[in-house]
Amino acid sequence: MKLLDMFKKQIAQMGPLKRVWLTTFNLDIAFVESRILPAVLDMDPPTGRMDYEGLQRALSDSGIDFRIYCDPRMIDIVKPKRTSIGIYPVSVRKLAVDEALYLDGERSLFHPKVFYLEDNSKKIVLGAGSANLTLSGWGRNQEAVDFRTVSSNAQYQQIKQFFMGLLDEELSYGDFFPVRRKFYGDDPDWSFIHSLNQHTLLDALAAGGELTKLSVWSPYLADSLPVLISKLAGPELRVELVPDLAAGQFIRTRWGEELQTLIASQRLTLFRPPAERDPRIMMTHAKLWLAESSAGRHLAIGSWNFTGPGCSSLPVKGRNVEAGIVHPVSKGTKLCSAPWAVSEGDFACEELLEEEALVPGSLPPFDLTVVFDWQRCEYRLSGEWFLGKPQEGHLLILPGVKKPVRLSWNVADGVLKSPLKINVEQSAALLDSPFYTLRKAGEADWTGTIVETGAEYRRALRFKSLDDILDSYMNASEPEQSDNLMLRSAAGQDELLSESLEEVASASPESTSYFRLFQAMRLRGNGLSTIKESKQLHRRLFSDPGCLLELAEMVRALLEQQPGSVFGWFLAQEVNSMADRAKVRFDQIKRSNTADAADITVHQWRSLYVAPPPLKGKKGTHRYLNIIRKECSYDH
């Protein structure tokens, strides 16, 4: 993969990364996780599920802000998402509020392919081109991508304007693009051109002069080339096109008398690619624009197709959101070789054009942002209604939430009224399916991505048995280093896996002695009492393998299987005592450091407690248990 090698080369020339922000039209999450993320972290591609968890831990430890902006209609949701990388669907509807951008909230596509790399020394590398974040974009198509080091404040401001337009106020905190006075590059002549600025692609190519010639590589062409060409510039403009061919032989546009006249007058000339294409290449997806004007020659490498919406330059509502890099080139620069004497038979028929047409799925009548916070174990929702007046009837189905949730809207401003927060008791379902579903009678389901935050608190691994947890408490070892770990699963959404239930149910004084239980819990409790940072305590309680929440879940499972177990009664009491002890320590840490970032919600504290079972037996037994309850401070 040449692009992957080029991407790695850019990263190798930078210091430790701070941000990796990528944009795409089509998104293959599995490809990003298996190829691009390992390149960012300088790790081997994953081969198993545990490897993906290793990638996620490495990403959290690195502190890299890794995120992807994409068109919400073009996400491949069939393949699983195995990490918590940030995926942010872009609302063109919100961008279209600025009428000067000529965007259409329903028809315009979010189509740019941009790479933003920033290291801790504030060096910035920007890439732009035609490659989507897919296997075909990085390995099977002929693409064009340009990488440049940011060299001037003008370039920095162009980048800032683009990404600030994409940031969701609900998800973005801090100053991402502060004032900069130092830049590492030495090439101030290139520009980052994008659709969120009124300075268009054609403006940049003309550079203040008058366009006389355009040479364009574009896989997709306007339905009517004569109409588009007439709108691009004056009657003296000559256009050269190098198209990709549908089915390997047909130009993706209509033949007609006007097109024939345009070609005969030499205002339009078509060319075959200048070099023989590798037979392994699926298509030439590169988008290159070389312009000649009275101000010189300029080359654009980006996402612009040779269509009305795709060139994103015409003063007509319906532009796509596009982006790329434009820079001056020498007079000898060429994109075309020998002309192609085309005829009607070289152009696609109506059936092929219909087959090749891009028809993105329709959006719901509202935008909905669903965020899952791993630290607080809760969903946060925000939304805005766009089409007509808000209506009731949409149900939201969330992983880890047993029943569908009905959405309610404010009629006055169309903002989501409820729910705004939803607590989650079992987060395992997020690990396998971080997607939500919208459902309404008579309509097709809509599936959207859940934005995951607080990934450093992501609870992905657990011990195989209660004995393994107690062993880890006795050894006081780092839980991630244990050989007795397994992945949590969506099957644990409502209860632990059946095989784990059998292991837990087998726990008894015969397999786990009372002495061992009390000693393990005492050692663990002492360890919790010495923790000095609330973040570390939070992880010990809710996310690390063997955390108190995991132990509480196992004890509940045991009590379901053996409701009258005396051993289970002691387990529940010990868990509750440790929860009390942890709460005291957490409050102490918060009092000594009010700026400490970690927080624990009421429902999270509740999840740590286990209801001790009522025990049947002789009065003497109850008197004995009452003495133990008092001596061990089991009264909660």
- Residue 596: pLDDT above 80? no
Q: Are residues 439 and 472 in the same domain?
A: no
Q: Are residues 224 and 346 in the same domain?
A: yes
In this predicted structure, what is the pLDDT of residue 496?
40
Count the alpha carbons within 13 Å of 485 in the hemisphere toward its beta carbon: 20
For residue 57, give both structure tokens: 């831990």
Last residue of a domain, one of 420, 455, 490: 455
CATH number at residue 408: 2.60.40
In this predicted structure, what is the pLDDT of residue 625?
66
Domain with 232, as residue range(s), is 2-356
Q: pLDDT: is 228 or 479 the higher one?
A: 228
Mean pLDDT across the chain, nearest whole number?
90
In a domain, 361, yes or no: no
Burial of 402 (0-12, 13-18, 19+ CB in 10 A): exposed
Last residue of a domain, one of 336, 356, 376: 356
Cis peptide before 419 (omega within 30 of 0): yes
CA 128 to the chain's CA centroid? 19
Where residue 593 falls among pLDDT bands split at 50, 70, 90?
confident
Last residue of a domain, one of 455, 486, 503: 455
CB count within 10 Å of CB 565 equals: 19
CA 260 to the chain's CA centroid? 46
Point out which residues pair with 86 in neighbouring strands. Answer: 67
Summarize pLDDT for 428-445 with one digit per residue, the tens: 999 988 999 999 988 889
Q: Are residues 35 and 77 in the same domain?
A: yes
Q: Are residues 10 and 85 in the same domain?
A: yes
Q: Are residues 500 and 602 in the same domain?
A: yes
Q: Are residues 438 and 320 in the same domain?
A: no
Summarize pLDDT for 179-230 with one digit per residue, the tens: 988 999 999 999 999 999 999 999 999 999 999 999 999 999 999 999 999 9
Q: Are residues 393 and 252 in the same domain?
A: no
In a domain, 636, yes or no: no
For residue 328, give both structure tokens: 């001056």
Residues 6+ positions from 362 with CB-CB distance below 8 Å: 73
In this predicted structure, what is the pLDDT of residue 482?
78
Summarize pLDDT for 149-186 with one digit per residue, the tens: 999 999 999 999 999 999 877 666 668 899 988 999 99
Q: Are residues 80 and 173 in the same domain?
A: yes
Per the structure, the count of domains in the chain is: 3
Do the beta carbons of residue 538 and residue 594 sit within 8 Å? Answer: no
Do the beta carbons of residue 394 and residue 364 sit within 8 Å? Answer: yes
Q: Are residues 174 and 290 in the same domain?
A: yes
In a domain, 580, yes or no: yes
Look at residue 570 and give its three-state secondary structure.
helix
In a domain, 201, yes or no: yes
In a domain, 294, yes or no: yes
Q: Are residues 228 and 170 in the same domain?
A: yes
Q: Are residues 170 and 52 in the same domain?
A: yes
Q: Are residues 138 and 156 in the same domain?
A: yes
Angle at 588 between CA 587 and CA 594, to 5 degrees: 80
pTM as predicted = 0.92
Summarize pLDDT for 107-149 with one digit per residue, the tens: 999 999 999 999 999 999 999 999 999 999 999 999 999 999 9
Lowest pLDDT segment from 3-7, 37-41, 260-264, 465-469: 465-469
Burial of 294 (0-12, 13-18, 19+ CB in 10 A): exposed
